[in-house]
């Protein structure tokens, strides 16, 4: 494939639509959702521009999949079955690894109708992740509702640690306020105080996110926020995606449903399987579903 053909593939789009929502995808650009547009409220995500980008320099726009882990692997290595696994760095410090490799690969469409789309990635072990896997994303629209279903399958011959998640760049919220139901808040990179219970878990609690600082929760049920020019969105965890990473910046809001606590893979921390990662034997799978609704 020539450079021009490669750039053309990265920008090719496919869409699904309900009466009020339209989702646009760029499968070859890391399985990304490029836009999520509402008939009354406009763009709910920061739209992904048409310019091609380097895989390790992704724009803060659209939404991308998180397989087989999310957030930072600060040491660039982890241990499984008594051996150390070292990954190719993709962070500025030349050591750490961020968000796994799946959003840096071309995905394919293997199911598409007016309101549904299914994307998949067959990953072959390499320096970015030394295990074979298949990742799947399924999206469905119905009225004001977007259902996101994720699945990770170990297609190799060795056990691997695995996790899943989805990383949207939503339009910024008013002052970083969210309403959240959750069981615990985590400080995953603070070894002295990694987690604490969240107060008032019986009902949604108003939380002001600290600008520029990712906040981590587990045991969450739903989260609600006003975004953009006044659209109210909610995310509801249905299964599997039991953790939430939340980041507020002036330019965007990230509410990331994920299956495990950030930093779970770090070799210097607790066992990754105590923080939500799954040990997947050959043929094993991990799945999760979250529903985004606009009101």
pLDDT in tens, 148-184: 999 999 999 999 999 999 999 999 988 899 999 898 8
Q: What is the pLDDT of residue 94?
A: 85
* 83 contacts: CB under 8 Å, gap ≥ 6: none
CA 246 to chain centre: 11
Pseudo-torsion of CA 208, 185, 262, 63, nearest 10°? -40
Q: What is the pLDDT of residue 202?
A: 46
* Stated pTM of the model: 0.93
Q: What is the pLDDT of residue 268?
A: 56
Per residue in 10-48, pLDDT (tens digit) is 779 999 999 999 999 999 999 999 999 999 999 999 999
Please state, in angstroms and rounded to a whole number, the distance separating the CA atoms of residues 123 and 219: 30
* DSSP-based three-state secondary structure for 273: helix
Residues of the chain scoring pLDDT < 50: 1-3, 5, 200-202
Are 65 and 192 a contacting pair, CB within 8 Å?
no
**Of the candidates 99, 264, 239, 76, which has an alpha carbon nearest to the alpha carbon of residue 169?**
99
**Of the candidates 127, 150, 121, which has an alpha carbon nearest to the alpha carbon of residue 138?**
150
* DSSP-based three-state secondary structure for 3: helix
Are 231 and 224 a contacting pair, CB within 8 Å?
no
Are 254 and 246 a contacting pair, CB within 8 Å?
yes
Burial class (CB in 10 A: 0-12, 13-18, 19+), 1: exposed
* 20 contacts: CB under 8 Å, gap ≥ 6: 38, 39, 40, 143, 144, 294
Instruction: Look up residue 274 and give its DSSP letter.
Output: G
Please state, in angstroms and rounded to a whole number, the distance separating the CA atoms of residues 135 and 271: 24
Q: What is the pLDDT of residue 179?
A: 94
Question: Could you tell me the domains of the chain?
Answer: 3-294 (2.70.98.10)
9 phi and psi, to 5 degrees?
A: -65, -40
**Burial state string for 62-94 with b = 16 or more CB within 10 A and e = fewer than 16:** bbbbbbbbbbbbbbbbbebeeeebebebbeeee
Q: What is the pLDDT of residue 8?
A: 61
* DSSP-based three-state secondary structure for 102: helix
**Of the candidates 192, 190, 228, 216, which has an alpha carbon nearest to the alpha carbon of residue 74?**
190
| Structure tokens given for 249 | 């910046």
Q: What is the pLDDT of residue 251?
A: 96
Alpha carbons within 13 A on the beta-carbon side of 90? 20
| Structure tokens given for 134 | 């298949």
């Amino acid at each position: 494939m020539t450079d021009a053909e490669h750039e053309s593939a990265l920008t090719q789009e496919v869409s699904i639509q309900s009466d009020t929502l339209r989702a646009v995808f760029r499968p070859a650009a890391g399985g990304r959702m490029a836009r999520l547009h509402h008939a009354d409220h406009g763009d709910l995500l920061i739209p992904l521009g048409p310019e091609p980008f380097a895989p390790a320099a992704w724009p803060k726009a659209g939404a991308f999949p998180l397989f087989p882990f999310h957030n930072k692997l600060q040491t660039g290595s982890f241990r499984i079955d008594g051996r150390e696994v070292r990954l190719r760095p993709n962070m500025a410090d030349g050591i750490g690894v961020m968000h796994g490799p799946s959003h840096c690969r071309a995905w394919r469409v293997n199911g598409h109708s007016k309101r549904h789309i299914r994307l998949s990635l067959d990953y072959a072990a390499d320096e970015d992740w030394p295990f074979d896997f298949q990742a799947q994303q399924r999206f469905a629209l119905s009225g004001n509702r977007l259902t996101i279903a994720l699945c990770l399958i170990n297609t190799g011959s060795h056990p691997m640690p695995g996790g899943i998640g989805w990383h949207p760049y939503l339009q910024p919220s008013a002052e970083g306020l969210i309403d959240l139901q959750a069981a615990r808040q985590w400080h995953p990179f603070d070894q002295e105080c990694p987690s604490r219970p969240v107060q008032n878990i019986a009902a949604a609690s108003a939380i002001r996110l600290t600008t520029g600082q990712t906040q981590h929760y587990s045991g969450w049920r739903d989260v609600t926020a006003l975004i953009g020019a006044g659209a109210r969105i909610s995310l509801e965890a249905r299964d599997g995606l039991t953790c939430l990473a939340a980041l507020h910046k002036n330019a965007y809001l990230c509410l990331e449903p994920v299956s495990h606590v950030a930093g779970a893979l770090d070799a210097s921390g607790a066992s990754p399987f105590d923080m939500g990662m799954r040990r997947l034997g050959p043929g094993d799978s991990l799945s999760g579903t979250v529903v985004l609704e606009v009101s």
